[in-house]
Structure 1
Amino acid sequence: MENFSLRPKGDFTWTAKYRELYILTEHWLSDLKFYKEDLHFLYHLVDKYFISLINKENLEEMRNLSSGLSETSINCDRLLEKTSKHLTHLAELIDDPFKYDSHKFRSEHEELENEISFFVKKFRKIKKETFTDMEPVIQKEVKKLTP
């Protein structure tokens, strides 16, 4: 498991107060919203240069890129929804600490963290692939604009 920089090392998930988990989860939700906006930008970038990118040599590459962006966007939406629900449950736990089984809830929290960590790794990979594929096309555009 990759630890998020906002989460203290060790067994934080199992020893933290619900308010601390709430703050951490708010950060996750904020980060996921940022990733969603970043994905929107990547879609826009590919869409803008789509004609320049499509040719016989890289048609399969573009299909893979488009598929990867779509899959990443779907995963981001799913995690946004799951994290929002988790945040709601945390708020309920702060109000009534006996509302849910603490061990089960903390296990779910750890699982969500792992899912977000996995998502971030995949997101970074698709973002790098997108920029790698876009770089030659954008460089051609820049050369056309510079005298």
Structure 2
Amino acid sequence: MENLSLRPKGDYSYTAEYQQLYVLTEHWKSDLEFYKDDLRFLHHLIDKYFVWFAHKEHLDEMRNLAARLSEISKKCDGLLEKTSKHLHHLAELIDDPFKYDSHKFRTEHEELENEMASFVKKFREIKKETFSASEQVIENEVKRITS
């Protein structure tokens, strides 16, 4: 799995202090909130503007794109919820280091990180596809109007 740029290489999840993991997890949450706003914009782009541009030859592509955007939006919401719970658990661990099994918790932290990396990769792909499809549809429509 990809490493997120905010995490140092190596076994950081297993050697970092809880406070350091907390700061890293706060960054993830902030990033997810940004991605959620970005996804809202992409949905808006598809839902509102493609109705004007999409001809029959683009409808299936737009429906597929909209379905994939909905799927990744749900994944984002799920990750936001998981990240919030993780932050809560980290706060409890900072207050009482013996509250949870440290190794199990750190393994869960690494799994969350891997989910984040996978999500970011998929998000970038769908964003690129959405902008590419938008550009293509708009260019075709401009050509059609000016011809």
Contact 1:53 1:62 in 2 (8 A): no
Q: Aligned residue for 2:28?
A: 28
Q: Deviations over 1:61-85 (max 9, x none)?
A: 1111011100010000000000000
Task: Spell out the pairing of 1:1-147 with structure 2 (5 A cutoff).
Answer: 1-139=1-139
Where does structure 1 lack aligned partners over 5 or more consecutive residues?
A: none
Q: Deviations over 1:17-37 (max 9, x none)?
A: 000000000000000000000
Where does structure 2 lack aligned partners over 5 or more consecutive residues?
A: none
Q: CA deviation at 1:45?
A: 1.3
Q: Deviations over 1:98-128 (max 9, x none)?
A: 0000000000000000001100111011101
Q: CA–CA distance in 2 between the matches of 1:124 and 1:142?
A: 27
Q: CA deviation at 1:44?
A: 1.3
Q: CA deviation at 1:142?
A: 7.5
Once the two structures are aligned, what percentage of the paired residues are identical?
72
SS in 1 for 2:56: coil
Aligned length: 144
Q: CA–CA distance in 1 between the matches of 2:105 and 2:53?
A: 46
Q: CA deviation at 1:140?
A: 6.3
Q: CA–CA distance in 1 between the matches of 2:107 and 2:123?
A: 24
Cα pair distance change 1:21/1:51, threshold 3 Å = same
Q: CA RMSD in A?
A: 1.7
Q: CA–CA distance in 2 between the matches of 1:136 and 1:48?
A: 17
Residue 133 of structure 2 aligns with an amino acid whose one-letter code is D
Q: CA deviation at 1:53?
A: 3.8
